Copies of this chain bind each other. A is one copy, B any other.
Amino acid sequence: SSAGKSFRATLFPGHGIGPEISAAVVEILEASKVPITWEEHIISVDNVKPGQDIVSREALDSVLKNGYALKGPMATPIGKGYRSLNLTLRKELGLYANVRPCKSIPGVNTAYQDVDVVTVRENTEGEYSGLEHEVAPGVVESLKVITKSASLKVAEYAFAYARANKRKMVTAVHKASVMKMSDGLFLSCAQQVAKNYPDIHYEEMLIDNAASYLVSNPGRMDVMVMPNLYGDIVSDLCAGLIGGLGLTPSGNMGKGCMMAEAVHGTAPDIQGMDMANPTALLMSALMMLRSMDLHDTADKIAKATYSVLKEAKYTTKDIGGNSSCSDYTKAIIDRIDI
């Protein structure tokens, strides 16, 4: 346990509604007496030029040194030559696995009641290699890169996660019927790791079948591990099953550091209006607390949040409620049993 320990964590408030929801989450964590000192870094996109590094060396070093970061939504400037801020952080910090648990939340109205799935996504390569070129006029190639080392790492993460969280099954999601070599390599790595986890049931499923299965039988899926782009798609699909990106947490795992983040957008249309939903960022922060072994506090905050969501009296507009971000935050704090 982490009793008596204290932590430093980097805080990237982000853009749009980012600062508001970050403030709400920090408030909830402080009310819970979480022993975290925050190191805030503003990543500004004002006045940046194409090709320029937007994320500073100091910001990256802060995460590497502290080992923990909490990140609000960020908007990369649109246009040629701007490198995605999200992808830059994942790459520069070596965040090789992206974990997104999706569990149905009582009180949030969706078509499903029994969703409890976790997407573990390879976070650095695949279709996100950034390697593209025009072969001839009107003919473009993009490279999907799959490596044995990254595939083994993410598979190992998925199985270790399954064991630590008392999950029963890991499903490798792929399209090796078509991408025989790249997805084939990914699968063979998953198979190799599976051998070391005889306590976890291992299955494989084609990405198209998985998409169909998840909308018809989500209750029977458990932990899923997959290459980058499939993870991007499947994790958003799963988020949809439980009520959307405003509710679903995301943790990016690296060697010696993790970055928890809200993966929804910056919602500039409601910026500064005290209307944003901080739940996704809060749930992500709880993943960070669990990485710190602060399970008790994470459990208490989760319990308070679920109780507020279930009562549906203080919820925000995006999920059908009427409350402001600050009233929702206050309602959660009032119910935390410290």
Contact = CB atoms under 8 A, between A and B. Distances in A.
A116 interface: no
A207 interface: yes
A128 interface: yes
A279 to B, nearest CB: 16
Number of copies: 2
A111 B240 contact: no
Interface string A201-234: 0000001110111111000000000000100111
A139 B145 contact: yes
Interface in A89-123: 110-112
A140 B174 CA distance: 15
Interface string A286-305: 00000000000000000000
Given A142-B146, A232-B208, A178 B239 contact: no
Interface in A127-168: 127-128, 130, 132-135, 137-149
Contacts of A234: 211
Interface stretch (A23-31, A180-188, A306-314): A180-188
A132 B182 CA distance: 7
Contact of A127 (B144, B181, B239, B245): B144
A241 B237 CA distance: 12
Contact of A216 (B133, B175, B233, B240): B240
A132 B58 CA distance: 39
B240 A182 contact: no
A146 B245 CA distance: 30
